[in-house]
Amino acid sequence: MFNRPRRNEDGVSNIDNYLYNSGGRVVGKKENVCLDDRSLKQAHCYVLIHYDELTPVVNEFLKLKRQENDIGGSQAYESIENQWIIDEFADWLQSQVHNLDDSTVEGKLRKALAGGLSNRGKRMKSVIINGYKFDIVDGERFRITQNSGIMVEAEGHEYYGKLKEILELDYYGSYKVVLFRCDWVDIRRGIKTNPNGSVHINFSKLMHTGRLLRDDPFVFSSQAKQVFLY
């Protein structure tokens, strides 16, 4: 595995409409797609949890849940709080949509996110973002080049994956987001650093496959770096 140098210009227009700077330049056609309920919930939850502008709202939700359950905010309850967010935060936020002031840019964003994602979006096979051209792994079946290797840095860890799907979803016309759905290697069982510093990736050991609602198969396209996996 090694990091790829950046070679491409993104060249995307109306980038302000894309959350997390996730807009890129599409290569090829966009296809219509309808997401199943589980994938839609996983995608929406990922946006809500990882979009910094919503952090105060998440904290407000957790404060209410702690009060309801009469517990403190110690790390001992972190797993419980994470489950509350996965199971209940999106519905709670949607219940607050009529109380949100949309007279400011921040308020408009919060109200759009509270309304939820449309299950109808676009699917792409290739996109240019962050100076890289990313292709889904199925599109490389008969090629000698590889543009599907993904690396994302989060919480002090490096996560490696193969790009399975590129999705452009929208919050009912207000904002869009481009997400990468990936096969993620288990960081505990599937990654080994060799004595020479190279990294061995074992794709038979996967995590966050998307089978369970709590799985996290998505990342923002803007988070991804390109690596060559061998």
pLDDT confidence of residue 101: 79
Query: Per-residue pLDDT tens for 124-176?
Result: 999 999 899 999 988 767 666 778 888 888 777 788 888 999 999 999 878 99
- Per-domain boundaries in the chain: 2-34+119-228, 37-115
Q: Which of 158, 219, 165, 172 is nearest to 22 (CA)?
A: 219
CATH top class, domain 2-34+119-228? mainly beta
User: Which positions ≥6 away from 137 have C-beta within 8 Å?
Assistant: 148, 162, 163, 164, 183
pLDDT confidence of residue 92: 93
pLDDT confidence of residue 22: 92
Please give the chain's pLDDT, 230 residues, in tens: 445 444 555 555 566 689 989 999 999 999 999 999 999 999 999 999 888 888 888 999 998 988 888 776 555 477 788 888 888 999 999 998 888 778 888 888 888 998 999 999 999 999 999 899 999 988 767 666 778 888 888 777 788 888 999 999 999 878 999 999 998 887 676 666 767 766 666 665 666 665 555 678 999 999 999 887 65
CA distance linking residue 125 with residue 128, whole number of Å: 11
